[in-house]
Structure 1
Amino acid sequence: MLLKGKNIVIFGGSGAIGTAMAKEFVAEGGRVWLGARNQKRLDTAADKAGAASGTIETFKVDCLDATETTEALSILGARIGGIDVAINATSFMHDQGSNIDDLDLATFMSPVENFLSSLFNSCKAVVPHMGKRGQGVILTLSTPAGRTAPPGHLGYSVTCAGVEAFSRVLAAELGPRNIRVVCLGPHAISDAPQAGSYTGELFAPKAGALGLTVDQWLGGGAQTTMLGRLPTLDDVAQTAAFLASDKARSMTAAYVNLTAGMIPE
């Protein structure tokens, strides 16, 4: 069991990725705490991930609020005796598809401010509680948008590039404290919309503009990869479990390409 005995916190734990990771981490022996803003959605996610096993708990937190996040993690860290693994899987609606002519500064900056503020606040809050029970691990999430040039994705591409840079520099800062930082970069996840992910709503306008359903649009996206398919939620969760485990203890400041070989634009 890759994660036996590890205390794992997932920010954005009520989403499709957070739920899938929680289920996989519990199967690998971990104990999981799901944090998000909406308690009802947290309860649903915990039930789907296997809360009945007694190895999943929830806590309310808004990662855009630095004080609230710090206080929530201070209470949790003291109660459970330390945190081994932390993952930020928070997500925010943003613009995809508008070129600079149709963007205003606020729309451009929205994903930059939301995603990076959430990441900064959650990492700052969790770091004091890591490395006490052995090596600590922080997993971040990006997408190919940070490394390719998709038109109409100015704000989101800058955000993803920022997440990757943040992860590298944070890894350099925390390495001496025995804390690893790894960035996981999946392509669009094929089954995420059906699992309730916000990406269903995010992709709908782009699909509709081509006269396609979201599933059809994702099918076209699969043809832009070397393997002819997109990653699934299970792919993301299983890879995250390995990266969070001691099997990957020498990996830090790394970007893990989980795109099924996306062909660069």
Structure 2
Amino acid sequence: MLLENKNVVVYGGGGAVGGAVARGFAEAGAKVFLTGRNPDNVNTVAKEISAAGGAVEAAVVDAADEQSVSEHLDAVVADAGSIDVSFNAIGISPRGLQGIPFTELPVDNFLRPVTTYAEAHFVTAKAAARHMIPRGSGVIMMHTPEPARLPMPLVGGMSVGWAAMEALNRALSSEWAQYGVRSICLRTTAMVETPVIDVVFGLQADTLGIPKDQLTAAEAAMTHRKRLTTLTELTSAAVFFASDHAAAITGTVANLTGGLIVD
């Protein structure tokens, strides 16, 4: 198994993306330390992983709280001996942030995703690197959707926040790869399986005055393969990039958009 004997922490583990990736890590042999702010959601995913035979521990951790993150990682390392992969999959509710023209978007609502994403990803990466650098190995991972790169309307400050994450990904690698700590960002299209995209497309479609299904079909048609990224595809990529098979890959954004973005 690709991640056998690896210890992985997942932030936002109770969400659709974090939960799917955590399950994939566990299936690949990793011990998963699942975290999130909602204990019910985190525990539900943890029970599913355990029922499938995976190794998992769950904890309530706010990824933007440096003390909470640091204390949790200290406990993980004390128990498991190391932290090999840190995957941050936190999300923000789109209500009040997306589907609103810039001329009508309050400044605070524009800035919220910019500051939230940058802060949380810096906090979790910094805490993990402090344990990874002395051992000379580790992987920092994050996920962004295509507005991090493409100019798309009605996403508010989300696109700026996601672009900041990709810039942070490159900056982390520039400092830490020399010590064996890789940094990888996985960029996908919107994933219609996730509840948040159902809400987002609904908000945007209402503003545009078109059916939600029409908006979904239009985005899928923009890709080369005429379909959007799936959670399974994201999970498979996450497992590979977290593994030693990807040892030469760092400071990059893995393009999982199916041709919606062409590098």
CA distance in structure 2 between the partners assigned to 1:12 and 1:106 by the alignment: 23
Q: Is the 8 A contact 1:84 1:133 kept in 2?
A: no
CA distance in structure 2 between the partners assigned to 1:35 and 1:218 by the alignment: 31
Correspondence for 1:26: 26
Q: Is the 8 A contact 1:23 1:50 kept in 2?
A: no
Could you list the per-position Cα deviations for residues 102-156 of structure 1 after superposition, in whole angstroms to 9, with x for gaps in the alignment?
1221011010111111111111221122256662101111121121111233411
Q: Which runs of 5+ in 1 are unaligned?
A: none
The counterpart of 2:246, out of the listed 245, 248, 254, is: 248
- 1:37 maps to a residue whose letter is R
Q: CA deviation at 1:217?
A: 3.5
State percent identity of aligned pairs: 35
- 2:185 maps to a residue whose letter is C
- 2:252 maps to a residue whose letter is A
- 2:109 maps to a residue whose letter is T
Q: Which moved more, 1:179-188 or 1:93-102?
A: 93-102
Q: Is the 8 A contact 2:186 2:253 kept in 1?
A: yes
Mapping of 1:192-211 within 5 angstroms?
A: 192-193=194-195, 198-209=196-207, 210-211=209-210
Correspondence for 1:257: 255
CA distance in structure 2 between the partners assigned to 1:88 and 1:199 by the alignment: 18
Correspondence for 1:167: 169
CA distance in structure 2 between the partners assigned to 1:48 and 1:201 by the alignment: 25
Correspondence for 2:8: 8
CA distance in structure 1 between the partners assigned to 2:109 and 2:155 by the alignment: 11
- The two structures have a TM-score, normalised by structure 1, of 0.91
Q: CA deviation at 1:36?
A: 0.3
CA distance in structure 1 between the partners assigned to 2:71 and 2:39 by the alignment: 17
* SS of residue in 1 equivalent to 2:238: helix
CA distance in structure 2 between the partners assigned to 1:110 and 1:162 by the alignment: 13
CA distance in structure 2 between the partners assigned to 1:131 and 1:8 by the alignment: 16
Q: CA deviation at 1:11?
A: 0.5
Q: Which runs of 5+ in 2 are unaligned?
A: none
CA distance in structure 2 between the partners assigned to 1:160 and 1:59 by the alignment: 26
1:63 paired to 2:63: yes
CA distance in structure 1 between the partners assigned to 2:35 and 2:176 by the alignment: 23
Correspondence for 1:218: 216
> C-alpha root-mean-square deviation of aligned residues, in Å?
1.8
Q: Is the 8 A contact 2:49 2:55 kept in 1?
A: no
* SS of residue in 2 equivalent to 1:53: coil
Mapping of 1:1-265 within 5 angstroms?
A: 1-51=1-51, 53-94=53-94, 95-131=97-133, 135-193=137-195, 198-209=196-207, 210-213=209-212, 217-262=215-260
